[in-house]
Amino acid sequence: MTQATRVHVAVPNAPYDVHVGEGVLQGIAAATAGADRVAVVSDREVCALHGDLRRHGVDAPMLEFDGGESIKTLGVLEEVLDFCAASSLSRSSILVAYGGGTVGDLTGMAASLFKRGLRVIQVPTTLLAQVDASVGGKTAINLAAGKNLAGTFHQPHAVFCDTGLLGTLSEAEYQSGLGEVIKTALIEGEPALAQLESISRDLGARAVTALSDTVARCVTTKARVVVSDPEERGARRSLNLGHTFAHAIEHAAGYGRVPHGIAVAVGLQLAASASERVYASSTDLGERIGRLLSAFGLPADLEELRSRYSLGAALTANALIEGLGHDKKGRVGAPEFVLMRGPGDIELGVMIAEEELRDLLA
Amino acid sequence: MTQATRVHVAVPNAPYDVHVGEGVLQGIAAATAGADRVAVVSDREVCALHGDLRRHGVDAPMLEFDGGESIKTLGVLEEVLDFCAASSLSRSSILVAYGGGTVGDLTGMAASLFKRGLRVIQVPTTLLAQVDASVGGKTAINLAAGKNLAGTFHQPHAVFCDTGLLGTLSEAEYQSGLGEVIKTALIEGEPALAQLESISRDLGARAVTALSDTVARCVTTKARVVVSDPEERGARRSLNLGHTFAHAIEHAAGYGRVPHGIAVAVGLQLAASASERVYASSTDLGERIGRLLSAFGLPADLEELRSRYSLGAALTANALIEGLGHDKKGRVGAPEFVLMRGPGDIELGVMIAEEELRDLLA
Ligand SMILES: NC(=O)c1ccc[n+]([C@@H]2O[C@H](COP(=O)([O-])OP(=O)(O)OC[C@H]3O[C@@H](n4cnc5c(N)ncnc54)[C@H](O)[C@@H]3O)[C@@H](O)[C@H]2O)c1
Ligand SMILES: NC(=O)c1ccc[n+]([C@@H]2O[C@H](COP(=O)([O-])OP(=O)(O)OC[C@H]3O[C@@H](n4cnc5c(N)ncnc54)[C@H](O)[C@@H]3O)[C@@H](O)[C@H]2O)c1
Ligand SMILES: [Zn+2]
Ligand SMILES: [Zn+2]
C-alpha cells in the first residue's frame, strides 16, 4: 500500500470512514468481521479484471451483474432483495457493493430496504463512484419517467476507494470521473482548484499519487457538504453545480449517449458562462475550466461536445432548453441553476431568463 | 362528529398527530392544504362503500387497488411510483393512503422512496390498520421468501382514524382487528385490560363510543412504544407479543387462510400459556384472554382455531414448530418469544425449549 488516507464522514447517528488509496481493499475483510453474515453484489467486468472479493478474504455469497444504467430498475432490485433472503441476511448482516455507481446505487438501495435496513459497505471501482457516488448515502433506481426517481438516504457503513482498481477503466469512463473531480474542486474553492491545475498532467496519466490525493480531496469535500445537509434540503444541492445543464444535455442527446461526467464537464463550462452573465462580472473561471477540460481530453465546450459525439442535430438550443424543463432535481416549474461567483462561492436556486439561455446554448 | 381525540406521536424530527373518532375524515382537506400537490392511493372496496376522498374535499389524482396481501409486491409498488411521477409529485407533495393495512404499507413505502421521500397521510379503514398498521411508520412489501421482507421506516405526516368507516367491515376483518386490540391492552397493563373487559360487549357490537375509545387507547399505547424505539432495535419488539406463534400459525396454515389478527389472538393465548410455563407461575391471564376471545367471537384457543378453519391436519405441533423457525422478526437461529409475567410486564427475546413448545402446541 502506498499512501492510505482515512476520511471521516461525521453524519449524525451513523458516522463512517472512507479509506482512500492504492491497496486499501485489503482492509475489507476486517471491516466485515463484525457481521453475522455477509453477501456481495459485484460488477461482472470488475471481477473479471481484478478478481472477486474472495481475493481479499471476503468469503460470502456473490451476485454478479453487468454494470450500467440498465440494472437500476425495480426488477433488478427485486433480484438483489431475493439474493439477500437466499443469503439469510439479518439486520446485523452486511451487504457489499463492488462496482461502479450503478452497482453501488442499486445495492445501497437494497441494503436500505431488506428487513428495513442493514449495513452496506461500498467498494467503488470507477473514478466517478470513488469521488462522488459512493459517499453520502444517496441510493436510487430509475423509473420509466426518469433517472433516480426512487431511492433512499442510507449512509454506508464504510467505503473503500482503492485507486489501484482505476487503471483498467476505459478512457471515456475515466474522463467521466474527471468531470466530477473538476466540479468538486470548483465547489471547494481556490486552493483546491489551483492544486488540481498543478497536477492535471499527472492526474490525466493516472499517476498513483495524483490519483489518491485527488480522490481523498474530493471525498473530503463531498463529506463536508453531506454532513452539512444529509437529506438534501439545501446546501447539499451545491453538488449539482453544472448538473442542470448536464441533465439537459443528457436528455437532449438521449440518455446514455454522453457519459454523465462528460456532460457535467461541459455543464460546468456553461455554468461559468451563465454566472458571468448573471453576475455581470468577467472572471477567468471559464478559461481555467476550459484549460482543465482540454488537459484531460474532455470536450472544452458545447461546440466541441456536439462535434465529438456527432450531436449537432440533437443538441440544438431549442432541444437543450426543452431538456432544462426536465431537470429532476429542480422544484416544479422553471429550471433552477447552481451558479458561482468564483471558486468556492456557490449560489443555489438561480433562475435565468430564457433569452439568456438561448444565447448561452446557441 | 361525536368525539374526536388527537394523539400526538412525538418521534424525533417528524412528530405528528393521529386523529381518532367518528367523522374525523372531514379534517383531511385542511391537512393536505400545505402541499404543492396531492395524490391518493385507495382501496377500491372502500371507495365503493364510502365514496372516495373527493367527498371530503381532496381534489387530486387517484389510483385504486383491490385491497389484500397480493398488492404488497415490488411490481405494484412500481405502479404506485409511476403514478407519483405521472401526478408530478415533488418532495413538497403529499401522498394519501386510503384503505386497510395493505394499501397503507404499500403507499407508505412508495412515499418513502419517490424522490427519496415525501409526506404520506394515512387514512386507515380497517380496525387492524387503525389500531396498529397506520401508526409507527413501518412500511413493507413482501418478497417470494416471506412477508414484509422489504420496507422502510417512514413516519406519516398525519393519520386519520375515522371510526365511522368500520361499520362495513366483514365480521372476520373486524375480529382480526380485535386480536391486535387485545394484544395492545396486554402490553399497556392492568387498567387497559380491565377497561377492555368492561366494554367488550359494546366493542363487539361496534358501538360508537366503545370503538373510538378503544382506537384512541390503542393508538396512544402504540405511539408510546414507537417513540421509545422508532427503528425497532429493542423495546418496540414488545408489539410482537403473540406474533411468533401467530406467524407459525399463518405459515403452517398457508398465508391468507387465517386472518392475521385472528392468528394473533390465538398467539396471545399461546404466549400466556408459554409464560406460565417459563415463569413457573400460575396467573389468570390465560383465562382472561380466553374470555375476551370468546366475547369477541374469536377462537378461544388453538384447538378451536383448528376446528373452525378445518385446519386440524395443517396445524399439527410438528408443522407449527417448523413454522416457528420461519419467524421473520427473530434473529438468526432459534425462535425468540415475547412473553409476559402479567399485563404490562413484558419480556423480550425469550427462548423456549422445543419439548415445552411441543406440549404447548399439541
Ligand atoms: N448516489 C450518488 O450520490 C450518485 C452520484 C453520482 C452518480 N451516481 C450514479 O452513478 C451511476 C454512474 O456510475 P458509473 O459511472 O460508475 O457507472 P457504472 O457503474 O455503469 O460503471 C461504468 C462502466 O465501467 C465498468 N467498470 C466499473 N469499474 C471498472 C474498472 N475498475 N475497470 C474497468 N471497468 C470498470 C462497468 O462495468 C461499467 O460498464 C449513475 O447511475 C448515477 O446516477 C450516483
Ligand atoms: N405497518 C405496520 O406497522 C403493520 C402492522 C400490522 C399489520 N400490517 C400489515 O397490514 C396488512 C393487513 O391489514 P388489513 O387487515 O387492513 O388488510 P387489508 O388492507 O387487506 O384489508 C382487509 C380487507 O378489508 C377491506 N376493507 C378495508 N376497509 C374496509 C371497510 N371500511 N369496509 C369494508 N371493507 C374494507 C379491504 O378491501 C380488504 O379486502 C398486512 O399486510 C400486515 O402486514 C402492518
Ligand atoms: Zn453527477
Ligand atoms: Zn400484527
Residue B298's contacts (CB-CB under 8 Å, 6 or more residues apart) are B175, B178, B179, B262, B265, B266, B292
- Res B299: pLDDT: 97
Give the containing element (helix H, strand E) for A141: strand A138-143
The pLDDT tens digits for B253-273 are: 998 899 999 999 999 999 999
B331 pLDDT above the threshold of 50: no
In the structure, what pLDDT confidence band is assigned to residue B10 with cuts at 50, 70 and 90? Answer: very high
Question: What domains can you pick out in chain A, each with its CATH number?
Answer: 5-168 (3.40.50.1970), 174-211+222-360 (1.20.1090.10)
Ligand 1 pocket test: pick from A128, A231, A241 the residue with the most ligand atoms within 8 Å of its Cβ. A128
Residue A332 reports pLDDT greater than 90? no
pLDDT digits (tens, 9 = 90+) for A256-292: 899 999 999 999 999 999 999 999 988 899 999 999 9
Closest listed residue to residue A58, CA positions, set A83, A34, A29, A88: A29
B333 pLDDT band, cuts 50/70/90, is low
pLDDT of residue B315: 96
Give me the mean pLDDT over the A304-308 stretch. 97
Contacts B331 to A, Cβ<8 Å:
36, 90, 92
* pLDDT > 90? residue B350: yes
Is B326's pLDDT higher than 90? no
- Does ligand 2 lie within 6 Å of residue B184's CB atom? no
Predicted confidence at residue B329, as pLDDT, reads: 45
Residue B322 pLDDT > 50, yes or no? Answer: yes
Count Cα atoms within 13 angstroms, Cβ side, for B187.
28
In this predicted structure, the answer to whether residue A252 has a pLDDT above a threshold of 90 is yes
Q: What is the mean pLDDT of residues A309-317?
A: 95
A92-124: per-residue pLDDT in tens?
999 999 999 999 999 999 999 999 999 999 999
Q: Is A232 on the interface with B (CB under 8 A)?
A: yes
Instruction: Provide, rounded to the nearest whole percent, the portion of chain B with pLDDT above 70.
Output: 97
- In angstroms, the separation between the Cα of residue A286 and the nearest Cα of chain B is 32
pLDDT at A1 over 70: no
Mean pLDDT, all residues of chain B: 95
Q: Is B13 in the A-facing interface, judged by CB distances under 8 Å?
A: no
Decide: pTM greater than 0.90.
yes
Q: What percent of chain A has pLDDT over 70?
A: 97
Please check whether residue B138 touches A, CB under 8 A.
yes
Shortest alpha-carbon distance between residue B89 and chain A (Å): 9
Spatial distance between the Cα atoms of B323 and B336, rounded to a whole number of angstroms: 13
**How many contacts (CB atoms, under 8 Å) link A and B?**
89
Contact B2, B24 (CB under 8 A): no
What would you report as the CA-atom Rg of chain A, rounded to the nearest whole angstrom?
Answer: 20
Q: Which of residues 108 through 127 in chain A touch B, CB cutoff 8 A? A: 112-117
Determine whether the interchain pair A116/B153 forms a contact, defined as Cβ–Cβ distance below 8 Å.
yes
Indicate which ligand has the atom closest to the C-alpha of B65. 2
- Mean pLDDT, to the nearest integer, of A196-215? 97
Encode pLDDT of B62-116 as tens digits: 999 999 999 999 999 999 999 999 999 999 999 999 999 999 999 999 999 999 9
CB contact under 8 A, B117 and A152: yes
- Cα A129 to averaged position of ligand 1 atoms, centre (Å): 6
Enumerate the residues of chain B whose CB falls inside 8 A of the CB of residue A76: none
Give residues with Cβ within 8 angstroms of A83, minimum separation 6. Answer: A39, A41, A61, A63
Per-residue model confidence (pLDDT) at position A247: 92
User: What spacing in Å lies between the alpha carbon of B156 and ligand 2's midpoint?
Assistant: 17
**B1 grid coordinates:** 362528529
Nearest to A255 by CA among A326, A190, A199, A205: A326
Q: Could you give the C-alpha distances from A141 to A75, A248, A329, B235, in angstroms and in order?
A: 10, 19, 15, 33
The DSSP call for residue B158 is E
pLDDT digits (tens, 9 = 90+) for A12-47: 989 999 999 999 999 999 999 999 999 999 999 999
Q: Do A85 and B113 touch (CB under 8 A)?
A: no
Assess whether the C-beta atom of A103 lies below 6 angstroms from ligand 1.
Answer: yes
Kindly identify which residue of chain B lies nearest to residue A231, measuring between CA atoms: B116
Q: What is the pLDDT of residues B20-66, one digit of tens each?
A: 999 999 999 999 999 999 999 999 999 999 999 999 999 999 999 99
The partner residues of B119 in beta bridges, in order of sequence, read B94
- Verify whether the Cβ–Cβ distance A117 to B144 is below 8 Å: no
Q: What is the ipTM of this complex?
A: 0.94
Least Cα separation, residue A353 to chain B (angstroms): 23
Q: What is the pLDDT of residue B330?
A: 41
A172 at the B interface (CB within 8 A)? no
Residues with Cβ < 8 Å from A181, sequence gap 6 or more?
A127, A131, A196, A203, A214, A218
Residue B327 is predicted with a pLDDT of 52
Q: What is the DSSP string of B319-349?
A: HHHHHHTT-SSS-SSS--EEEEEETTEEEEE
Q: To which residue does cell 464537464 refer?
A: A265
Q: Which of B113, B138, B149 sits opposite A152 (nearest CB)?
A: B113
Q: Is A43 in the pocket of ligand 1 (CB under 6 A)?
A: yes
Residue B250 in grid coordinates: 399463518
How distant, in Å, are the alpha carbons of B91, B129, B140, B156 from that of B260? Answer: 34, 12, 15, 23
A36 versus A326: the higher-pLDDT residue is A36
Mean pLDDT of chain A: 95
User: Do residue A74 and residue B88 have CB atoms under 8 angstroms apart?
Assistant: no
Does A69 contact ligand 1 (Cβ within 6 A)? Answer: yes
The SS3 assignment for A317 reads: helix
DSSP code at position A56: G
What's the confidence (pLDDT) of residue B302? 96
Identify the weakest region by mean pLDDT among A276-285, B123-132, B193-202, B213-222: A276-285
Our CA-based measurement puts residue A143 at a distance from the nearest CA of chain B, in whole angstroms, of: 7
At residue B2 the predicted structure's pLDDT band, cuts being 50, 70 and 90, is low
pLDDT of residue B293: 97
pLDDT at residue B328 tops 90:
no
How many residues comprise chain A?
A: 362
| Strand runs labelled E in B118-176 | 119-124, 138-143, 146-153, 158-162
Alpha-carbon span B288 to B276, nearest angstrom: 14
Residues in B touching A114 (Cβ below 8 Å) = 149-150
Look at A136-140, A277-281, A325-329, B298-302 and tell me which has the smallest mean pLDDT. Answer: A325-329
Q: Where are the alpha helices (DSSP H) in chain B?
A: 28-32, 44-50, 74-86, 101-113, 127-128, 171-188, 190-198, 200-204, 208-228, 243-253, 260-278, 285-295, 302-308, 317-324, 354-360
Q: Is B48 in the pocket of ligand 2 (CB under 6 A)?
A: no
What ligand 2 atom has the least distance to the C-alpha of B176? 15
Beta bridge partners of B340: B346
Give me the pLDDT at residue A325, please. 78
- In this structure, which residue's CA is closest to atom 11 in ligand 1? A101
Contact list in A for residue B95 (CB cut-off 8 A) is none
| Longest CA pairwise span in chain A (Å) | 60
d(CA B263, nearest CA chain A) in Å: 22
Smallest Cβ–Cβ distance between A81 and the set B88, B150, B153 belongs to: B150
